[in-house]
Amino acid sequence: MKLKSVTESFAKVIHGLNVGHLTDRVIQRSKRMILDTLGVGFLGTSTEVFHKASQYSKIYSSNTNSTVWGRPDFSLPPTYAAFVNGVAIHSMDFDDTWHPATHPSGAVLPVLMALSEALPPSPKFSGLDLLLAFNVGIEVQGRLMHFSKEANDIPKRFHPPSVVGTLGSAAAASKILGLSATKCQEALAIAVSHAGAPLANAATQTKPLHIGNAARHGMEAVFLAMLGLQGNKQVLDIQAGFGAFYANYSPKVLPSLDAYTWLLDQQDVAFKRFPAHLATHWVADAAASVRKHVVTDRALLPIDRIERIVLRIPDVQYVNRPFPGSEHEARHSFQYVACATLLDGGVIVPSFHKSQINRPQVRELLSKVELQHPQDNLPSFNTLYCEISVTLKDGVTFTERSDTFYGHWRKPLSQKDLQEKFRANASRMLSCDTVERFIELVENLEDLEDCSLLTALLKGPSSPEMVSKSI
């Protein structure tokens, strides 16, 4: 029987997909996403925004609790554990990015980690169960974004994880909790009413809340559906439903389960090597190349010899910040990432500390930067490029271009480098032994019989020296 309702087809896919549908490529790609997300989450627990979200969440308590990552003495009700861990994941803008544009993993993984701890110990929740529910949450986000041409581009109105991430969270939670197709449909309807956050809060401490809220609200939608709360059964079909978030919204019924293909099979994610908006990674790549013409033999950048710096990039207003005043603004500044790369030779985690942003040399360089927006440089993570020209006072100009940076889906991070990123991030909160154990468990996740072995590691440091290491 052919389904006429898009919403019903989503519910049937969420309910009906099973581990037999998972392909080797989807398993391998999603394991990389899980490891990276855990690492940036552990690193994010050192941030001010995580601390504020955690302090707020302490007012909530229940009989069932889940771990706040890296905090052995701090647990919260599952919804709020997912919230603060989601905030940690996006607190530095270091999490994965997909095409069409969103951060897919941060709204889903904290939900599954929190629920797997909160579920009764029997039946056991396996690594394959985790991989299936995780991929259902990722898949739902991708399918929704394919219903609008607007979603193909870097966003202008809504921050995508706050929109599709909320439904991805609801889908993943529905799957892990074994909801019927009818209840899945209600959970999606409720989740739509929890979705959406404007891009105006990009480059502020509020943006990481978008991921935390997507995780929490999706889970809350599922709990409410389980209690019998009902919503519009056509919520994904109509313009006044999910279509309110996107122009040119044209939803389609999903493929049948016997011929189902995963979007992650066709489209990989990008992994970031430094914590900033994905579009700035092309800028860093091009700036590192042009620096080799200007700086020789490990000398310092000759700032006084530079007349001007031209960046040819897409017109993305919320990443156009000529003089960023905070770490969050610097992470969303084409100009800052270009100047930091030219000055230091690269961008790393400490590059966004206020002391680095406010250096006089950085401010002097920023004053020399101008942006140009070539008509062929469209605001899409799949096609954009960065060209940078540095003109010296003697009239000589050096130009370099980046079409694809290392870490983009066209030039993926090696498994070795992905693991090194995890080690660097997680070792700020965890012992070396725990870090290596995480890598081993995630590497073999499809063979893990009991996910409690994984969630037990989330608690993090139990010795005083590890706690002091994180401060």
> What distance in Å separates the CA atoms of residue 100 and residue 82, rounded to the nearest whole number?
24
Are the C-beta atoms of 342 and 290 separated by less than 8 Å? yes
pLDDT of the chain, 471 residues: tens digit per residue: 556 799 999 999 999 999 999 999 999 999 999 999 999 999 999 999 999 999 999 999 888 899 999 999 899 999 999 999 999 999 999 999 999 999 999 999 999 999 999 888 777 899 999 999 999 999 999 999 999 988 888 888 999 999 999 999 999 999 999 999 999 999 999 999 999 999 999 999 999 999 999 999 999 999 999 999 999 999 999 999 999 999 889 999 999 999 899 999 999 999 999 999 999 999 999 999 999 999 987 788 899 999 999 999 999 999 999 999 999 999 999 999 999 999 999 999 999 999 999 999 999 999 999 999 999 999 999 999 999 999 999 999 999 999 999 999 999 999 999 999 999 999 999 999 999 999 999 999 999 999 999 999 999 875 444 444 443
pTM assigned to the model: 0.96
Dihedral sign from CA coordinates of 214, 216, 219, 220: negative
* CA dist 35 → 41, 75, 428 (Å): 10, 22, 15
Please report how many Cα atoms fall inside a 13 Å half-sphere around the Cα of residue 95, on the Cβ side: 30
Contacts of 42 (CB under 8 A, 6+ apart): 69, 70, 88, 425, 426, 428, 429, 430, 460
* CA dist 167 → 64, 100, 265, 273, 429 (Å): 24, 16, 20, 28, 30
